[in-house]
Amino acid sequence: MTGQVLKVAVAGLGAVGMPVAKWLDAGQPGLRLVAVSAGDRARAEKRVANFKTQPSVLELPELVASADIVVEALPPEKFFDLAEPTMAAGKILVAVTVTQILDRLDLIETAKKTGARLIVSTGALAAFDAVRAAQHGKIHSLTMVTRKPPKGLLKAPFVIEQGIDLSDLKAPVCLYKGSVRDAALKFPANVNVAVALSLAGPGPDATSYEIWADPAVERNTHRVILDSDATHLDFTIAGVPTEENPATGKLTPLAVMATLEGLVSPFRIGT
């Protein structure tokens, strides 16, 4: 899609959406911010009032109609309000809330019919290229272990439903151990990278996952272990949490920026 300027809309102006919107407003070759959307429209208008080129503040259906590319940076419960019309309209959706995709793979079938594309931004976790390549051979096992500061897990539905007190932890606590699919139901806003990793590899049922609340860590830390007939991979990434939302790493909006660049750049590194 080089050689043209693509119109971009950003849904959600939180820890991911706002930095992406500011970056687009600063001027990016081949990309132009045309619209934004947020739960509080009046607040959204104030947040973009000082942009060089002020985008329209729209409701989600209008947002989809305004753009070629829609960046999704919404709460999990709002995901399908954006994803469904975007796929139906044949647009490109750059998704951050990946946990919601697992039970709605019919969106991909819709995309095949309409020409839409559903792109998962993966820059917040390393080694997706290696996992995706290994999947073309035989993967024996894929495991991910996440350790987060307790404050980044306080709003997780599983923690709230189980009445788990994370306010004064003295030692690490394993909150979950099992498949990625089950973890996505319990921690819909916390395990997006694990879901993305599983979809690049053997799938959410065959990818093992652990999530820990760990008072000894200051960063969102992920360890990935891949064993396949082509390679053995064992690495750790420690992302710095955002000030606005400790459940989201600072690398996440930067990953979205890199994804958008890849859609218009004539030169690309990585599969």
Tokens (6 digits) for 140? 């024996």
Say how far apart CA 106 and CA 220 lie, in whole Å: 31
Nearest C-alpha neighbor of 244 from the set 22, 2, 19:
19
Say how far apart CA 260 and CA 164 lie, in whole Å: 39
86-106 as b/e: b if 16+ CB within 10 A: bbebebbbbbbbbbbbbeeee
Element at 71 (helix H, strand E):
strand 69-72
Tokens (6 digits) for 114? 């309409």
Active site (annotated) includes residue 222 = yes
How many residues in the chain?
Answer: 271
Say how far apart CA 45 and CA 179 lie, in whole Å: 41
Spot the catalytic one: 136, 140, 222, 232.
222
Catalytic residues: 222
